[in-house]
Structure 1
Amino acid sequence: MPDIVVRRHSVHGMPVDQYASALRERLPDSEVAVARTPNAERDLVADATVVTGSAIDEALLDRADALRLFASTYAGYDHLPLDALRERGVALTTASGVHGPNVAEYVLGAWLSLARGFLRARRQQRERVWQAFQATDFAESRVCVVGLGAIGEAIVARLDGFGVETVAVRHSPEKGAAADEVYGYDEIHEAMADARYVALACPLTDETRGLVDESLLRTMHPETVLVNVARGPVVDTDALVDALRRNYVGGAVLDVTDPEPLPADHPLWDFENVLLTPHNAGHTPEYYERLADIVAENVRRAEENGAWDGLRNQVDL
């Protein structure tokens, strides 16, 4: 029976066989199997030490008597049965850090696209309109990053060289950051008051749900470009629509929405200063390679230490 079972759910449309191959390269002494059907999953997990995939439910956990680690292929874990994992003594790790470089590039590209008017340029190109228009400098702007996990830190790091003022919002501001200023969530209005570019890269928690509400949108500068690569519910969608209609903000780039996906008749589709992408900012052809590095490192740590604890990206259950 296999030591590691890879669930059949692909990430960003990439076949899970690539993931399994990457794990086999890094762990040649472990047997890695891909569970291609629900029945195969139920059979294979019975003796597996590690199961990896986007999710796992309690029914599958009930069959996984030897399971010691569920290695999520996502950075977020709010969708997982945390209580059930804890009760069964199963460690949980995430894909945190896998998305850092590519999501940071997405955010920088989004900010620059709106600063330089690329959305308008694309529309004029479709309409065969040759008409000059004004753009905005990104340099010397105040840029705010909310959330300083692996993605937030990667965004801040890539701002070097752009000549901007960087501010960050994090749960524990006393930890500091590479940003010029660091605020707590209770000071988020102060952090965003003069920011022209804002990125949301925080986890979805009770504290961050609805964080960007009508009040915070009113605090933002009318030219602020808001980018959300966190979770849709971090933003109050109705409040954002109202702010866009009233020109309280300059524009938005949303890789995540609430609801998700957006209904075809949702008003966000129709704003010229809004760019929507289908929750794929995290895609990179290196996804499985980076993910396999994390899982392989944790398997080796557990073998050396004799315990599934102190793992990279381990969630405290």
Structure 2
Amino acid sequence: MIFSAERLPEAAREVLKKWEVVEEDASRLGEAEVIMAWRVVPEMIASAPKLKAIQTFSAGVDHLPFTAIPKGVRIFSNAGAYSVPVAEHAWALLLHLAKGVNVMNKQKAVNYPRQLHGKTLLVLGAGGIGQEIARIGKCFGMRTQGISRHPRQSPVFDEVYGIQSLDDLLSHADFIAIALPLNKESRNLLDARRLSLLKDDCVMVNVGRGDVVDQQAIYDLLKRKREFRYGTDVWWHEPQGEGAHLPFTHL
């Protein structure tokens, strides 16, 4: 039996019609061989002794309680499902910051519009979301560079590099988009040292995970560099907690 913690759309029910699917009724977890959910908690796993697989609705799996998951249980993410909408959102943030639409009249000295054409866009994470961000960047006539653990050339990137090239690329990028999953390699990848390499007027957006960027370091950078701009739709502690409303117009 497949247990879904959420109501499924009709298209999903059609795909799964060969199997028994129970939606939202947690009292049936004891029969479940597969759990589908946005958020899986240890109590759900403990209630499912027949569990063989977990399917997350999210693209990432860093939120899963791995210590509570028995050996042999297979884990599947929804990677690739949100490439277009997340990339579009990244560009909404980037264009907002680049053009200073909402604050330009109040603070012209800080929020002058930035030109995109001919500028360098560095994308951290060259997966589905990163490639879609780069594809849109090419439409603006930008030079697109990607960072990937397994660099492979792609028609939407002018160049793709491994992590060993990150420091050099950060120092030359005009715009940066973060589309990385969270793991032990990416946590605080952009620490104080690496953030100090950025151009003073760099525009950076994060649609990956909040903890890829060091929280105190980005706060200090925003205080120090008034022309630097940062846009994020991911936070260090979600839902947003203390520090969610920072006193910066360039955030």
What's the TM-score, normalizing by structure 1? Answer: 0.71
User: What are the within-5 Å matches in structure 2 for residues 11-26 of structure 1?
Assistant: 16-17=6-7, 19=8, 21-26=10-15
User: What are the within-5 Å matches in structure 2 for residues 1-317 of structure 1?
Assistant: 3-7=1-5, 16-17=6-7, 19=8, 21-35=10-24, 40-41=25-26, 43-82=27-66, 84-85=68-69, 87=71, 89-121=72-104, 124=106, 134-173=112-151, 175-178=152-155, 179-247=157-225, 250-263=228-241, 266=243, 269-274=246-251
SS at match of 2:145: strand
Deviations 1:190-233 (A, max 9, x none): 11111111011111122111111111111111111110111111
Deviations 1:114-154 (A, max 9, x none): 22221314x75xxxx9xxx8422111110000012221122
Distance, in Å, in 2 between the alignment partners of 1:64 and 1:262 is: 31
Shift in CA distance, 53/75, structure 1 to aligned 2, threshold 3 Å: same
Number of equivalent positions: 249
SS at match of 2:123: strand
SS at match of 1:120: coil
User: Could you say what the CA RMSD is over the residues aligned between the two structures, in angstroms?
Assistant: 2.5
Distance, in Å, in 1 between the alignment partners of 2:160 and 2:13 is: 42
Contact 1:20 1:34 in 2 (8 A): no
SS at match of 2:113: coil
Aligned partner of 1:106: which letter?
A: H
Distance, in Å, in 2 between the alignment partners of 1:272 and 1:228 is: 17
Structure 2: runs of 5+ lacking an equivalent: none
Contact 1:222 1:247 in 2 (8 A): yes
SS at match of 2:172: coil
Identity %: 29
Q: Which has the higher contact order (CA 8 A, sep 6+)?
A: 1
Contact 2:117 2:140 in 1 (8 A): yes
SS at match of 2:246: helix
Shift in CA distance, 231/249, structure 1 to aligned 2, threshold 3 Å: farther
Bigger fraction of residues in helix: 1
Structure 1: runs of 5+ lacking an equivalent: 8-15, 275-317
What's the TM-score, normalizing by structure 2? Answer: 0.88
Contact 1:146 1:199 in 2 (8 A): yes
Contact 1:220 1:248 in 2 (8 A): no
Contact 1:119 1:273 in 2 (8 A): no
